[in-house]
Amino acid sequence: MALKLDYTCLLAGGPQGETGVSADDLAAAEAAHGARLGRLRAQRAEGSVGFYDLPDERGPARAAMEYAESRRGHFENVVVLGIGGSALGTLALHAALSPPLVDHERGTTNRPRLFVVDNVDPVLVSGVLRTANPARSLFVVISKSGSTAETMSQFLLFLEALKVQLKDKWTEHVVVITDGSKGHLRPFADAHDLVSFTVPDNVGGRFSALSAVGLLPGACLGWDLEALLDGASAGRDACLRDDFRDNPAALYATTHHLLDTRVGCPIQVLFPYSHQLRLLADWQVQLVAESLGKRTADGVGVGPTPHKAVGATDQHSQVQLFAEGPVDKVFTFLRVLEHTDDVIIPEPPPGLEALDYLGGKSFAQLIDAECRATNIALVDAGRPCCAILFPRVSAATVGEYLMWMEVATAYGGQLYGVDAFDQPGVEAGKVATYGLMGRSGFEAEAARVSARHLSDAATLVG
Amino acid sequence: MALKLDYTCLLAGGPQGETGVSADDLAAAEAAHGARLGRLRAQRAEGSVGFYDLPDERGPARAAMEYAESRRGHFENVVVLGIGGSALGTLALHAALSPPLVDHERGTTNRPRLFVVDNVDPVLVSGVLRTANPARSLFVVISKSGSTAETMSQFLLFLEALKVQLKDKWTEHVVVITDGSKGHLRPFADAHDLVSFTVPDNVGGRFSALSAVGLLPGACLGWDLEALLDGASAGRDACLRDDFRDNPAALYATTHHLLDTRVGCPIQVLFPYSHQLRLLADWQVQLVAESLGKRTADGVGVGPTPHKAVGATDQHSQVQLFAEGPVDKVFTFLRVLEHTDDVIIPEPPPGLEALDYLGGKSFAQLIDAECRATNIALVDAGRPCCAILFPRVSAATVGEYLMWMEVATAYGGQLYGVDAFDQPGVEAGKVATYGLMGRSGFEAEAARVSARHLSDAATLVG
């Protein structure tokens, strides 16, 4: 195991004081651990929840690497058409595992750029169309159902652009990642003999980063997929341990659930002190929000609010609120113990002697000092904090982290009494969109939303 | 006035139901409006708070444009060394006003790229050093005090790189933006005859986007600064209106404060449905968090938690929580009425007939339908929502928006009973950093933090 979870400052009576999980509450959670773990294992064994097994299935990674190898030298750009779970894992892994600032250069066939088109704003879509020449780009279309309006509207656009430029050769520029049998994209891929990959039926979008959804882009961009999956495999095993006090997922989920429901800290701040790990926060926001933000069987709305901060940047943005505002937050510092590419800060020139203390130190020392200092300051202010220690940022540690948080979220579903794997709350908006866009079969909804007035002249001001 | 605030669904009894501001509470706030506005005006008149007047002072914008014109053709990269308020405004304006994806190309002297180095991670710093050739870059160093550890450590690094490449000519590649007389950077700039700009003493970092802090990068990147300031000026005037029911800042601040303190919705979600406006959310997070997240005179921690979501993207990430989770959030949709660069979605090819409803529509129609649909869905779920309507994304409307939110935040300081213009809660972390970095004069703090143990072997797991 490479990662460590340090939850000392989450327990009442710890260095941060009395705001924390009580020993009794933690003991009660420990007593229930066996049963909770048993239900997770049962879901895995019966095949209803599949993300646990993604690290062991090396076929997709090998197929992705073979595909990338066979097409190496052909593409300057990898363009992912996907949104939500089809985008956030790839974005987080790209930030962590691709060369920094790789997208700030014209792509080359040796070092392609990545575009993740995760919105339908015409400014973004037309910008990608202009910037990434379709003839030199690979389009990775990701939608389990093949009906995601955002992704499919983009696919229609880029497909037409490809056909104009490449005629019948367009098929060499498209990879489809979709359900194994259901939905609209599978038959389309088959009909055109497109390269395609499968998202297992029992793996939801937000748990799919380690499936072909993340692996295929990663193979094209040169990530170490074997190490990624090895790390995830080790992380999964740790998170299924019977010993509650030795199980990072159970401890993370339990302490955070108790801090929300018993201590009054529903806002969970993920605070990576790392440029490379910063987008893990966006990935985790979806994972937690969409899995645990639910109505219980009693109709009560529950779930924490995951919130992003980036260190050291947000010391100059959010730490004022974190230190002095309401005690309604719990903080998870991601601390990197060994930074790569370290740079020494030069000695200051005459006139800037006040900066003498910086000269000769390194940027790694500085960001680590800021991480520790902010952690101490929040603890001194009585705020519950934990830290996850990364020996370094690597495919293995990031893979391990993804699995820790995925298992913790599945575990959290039981604590909150909700299904961590559905998302009924997004249906109403989708149906209203279909109504507004005039989709056949949604005429009643079109009439309903057209009649729904949200505005009143008396409360419109400018 | 171009922007409109629609707060219909924030009032109890509105389309969203009973979760909202009561008529009595709003009437009480209206009765107090004259006195509150009077205090804002007094702070402005006595000169203690200066951001109101930035739109009228056209000297810095003209000087910035003259400088940019004089150096046009020399720089492929504009590198901002700044953090917090020295970075977030520029980032937000760049996303809104520069060509989309401009940074995804090698910069040219006609179309420079922007790098904002807002962290001290060595991977980021060394990446910028490799990617932006100092000899073809302009470095804009922004720190009021000249002692910001992050910014100044970067400056030492890039300064050395410039001297190695350019010898005495390094001075042509640096612009300093700092206090008019105080701090370490002003004498350094004078000694080396550097081009420099001033942040007025009475303008804090998070209120400085419309000072040289944002204007100088903007001049180099080609934004319409006059329109930006014209919009801000109009926005400022609207926000100082005596008529409460016609004052967008007073209404925004009051409704949000009451939703936090009387209704139980402390989480303020800013939900721009626009790729270009997405970074306004990061700017606003700092503005609100650092201004209002405070201890009151009674020692009570107060202040809302500003939180970012981006439409349509986060429909696939956070809307599940927003619609079904706890009723602890208020939503501000930023809706753009006319999108530029619109693109028509092609008709689907055979096999994808299920997408017929998208063919022939435009991406602007789609993102606007999603905005309306999500707004309706959240209102139907009983969640308080408001909307700010942008006729289009332009320098004028974005300038107006910045001023709306700045005045609303100043107004909010009075509602919460805190000083919106200080940030005492960040000092403890700064001092601890100085201790850990061995800064002279901070030996006692070094001893204190070294003795502060946040970790216990029993609560470390992995």
ipTM: 0.98
What phi, psi does B141 have (nearest 5°)?
A: -95, 120
- Supply the DSSP symbol for B263: I
Q: Which of the residues A104, A167, A316, A453 is marked catalytic?
A: A316
Q: Which residues pair with A344 in a beta bridge?
A: A362
pLDDT value at A381 more than 80: yes
- Mean pLDDT for all residues in chain A: 96
For residue B423, the Cα-to-chain-centroid distance in whole angstroms is 16
Which is nearest to B117 in space by CA: B69, B73, B150? B150
Q: Assess whether B453 carries a catalytic annotation.
A: no
Residue A90: in which H helix or E strand, if any?
A: helix A88-97
Cβ pair A104:B374 closer than 8 A: no
pLDDT value at A340 more than 90: no
Q: Assess whether A427 carries a catalytic annotation.
A: no
pLDDT digits over B28-77, tens only?
999 999 999 999 999 999 999 999 999 999 999 999 999 999 999 999 99
pLDDT value at A297 more than 80: yes
pLDDT value at B207 more than 80: yes
- Counting residues of chain A whose pLDDT is more than 90, the rounded percentage is 96
pLDDT digits over A135-181, tens only?
999 999 999 999 999 999 999 999 999 999 999 999 999 999 999 99
Contact, B196 vs B186, CB < 8 A?
Answer: yes
Chain B residues in contact with A81 (beta carbon < 8 A): none
Position B108 scores a pLDDT of: 76
B462 → closest Cβ in A1, A346, A359: A1
Residue located via tokens 């779930």: A303
Contact, B322 vs B383, CB < 8 A?
Answer: yes
Mean pLDDT of B389-413: 98
pLDDT value at B1 more than 70: no
Cβ pair B358:A286 closer than 8 A: no
Helix axes A149-166, A122-131, angle to 10 degrees: 30
Mean pLDDT of A173-201: 96
- Mean pLDDT for all residues in chain B: 96
Distance between terminal CA atoms of chain B? Answer: 57
CB-based contacts of A38, cutoff 8 Å, min separation 6 = none
pLDDT digits over A406-433, tens only?
999 999 999 999 999 999 999 999 999 9
Length of chain B: 462
Q: Is A338 left (phi over 0), alpha (psi -120 to 50) or beta?
A: beta
What phi, psi does A78 have (nearest 5°)?
A: -110, 120
Q: Going from the N-terminus, what domains does chain B have, and what CATH number goes with each?
A: 4-41+229-416 (3.40.50.10490), 52-223 (3.40.50.10490)
pLDDT digits over A27-50, tens only?
999 999 999 999 999 999 999 999
pLDDT band per the 50, 70, 90 thresholds, residue B109: confident
Position A1 scores a pLDDT of: 61
CB-based contacts of A342, cutoff 8 Å, min separation 6 = A362, A363, A364, B122, B126
B440 to chain A: closest CA residue: A357
Residue B198: in which H helix or E strand, if any?
A: strand B195-199
Contact, A358 vs B437, CB < 8 A?
Answer: yes
A336 to chain B: closest CA residue: B121
Distance between terminal CA atoms of chain A? Answer: 57
Q: Which residues pair with A140 in a beta bridge?
A: A80, A175
pLDDT band per the 50, 70, 90 thresholds, residue B102: confident
Preferred mutation among B305, B339, B390, B431 to probe A, highest tally of A CBs within 10 A: B305
B370 to chain A: closest CA residue: A433
Q: Assess whether A105 carries a catalytic annotation.
A: no
Cβ pair B432:A316 closer than 8 A: no
Which is nearest to A423 in space by CA: A177, A214, A145? A145
Contact, A6 vs B455, CB < 8 A?
Answer: yes
A71 by Cβ neighbours in 10 Å (0-12 / 13-18 / 19+) ranks as middle
A381 prior amide bond cis, ω within 30: no
Mean pLDDT of A227-241: 98
How many angstroms separate the Cα of A369 from the Cα of each of A275, A315, A361, A409, B148?
A: 15, 13, 11, 30, 14
Which is nearest to B105 in space by CA: A131, A133, A78? A131
The CA distance from A244 to B254, in Å, is: 47
Preferred mutation among B78, B242, B277, B461 to probe A, highest tally of A CBs within 10 A: B461
The CA distance from A445 to B130, in Å, is: 54
Does the model's pTM come out above 0.90?
A: yes
pLDDT value at A110 more than 90: no
Which is nearest to B279 in space by CA: B412, B87, B445? B87
The CA distance from B252 to A79, in Å, is: 40
List the structure tokens of A205: 């979008």
Position B133 scores a pLDDT of: 93
Residue located via tokens 């000269």: A359
- Counting residues of chain B whose pLDDT is more than 70, the rounded percentage is 100
pLDDT digits over B412-428, tens only?
999 999 999 999 999 99
Alpha helices in A167-279 (DSSP H): 185-191, 212-221, 225-239, 248-258
Contact, B142 vs B75, CB < 8 A?
Answer: no
Gap from A47 CA to chain B (nearest CA, Å): 25
pLDDT value at B104 more than 90: no
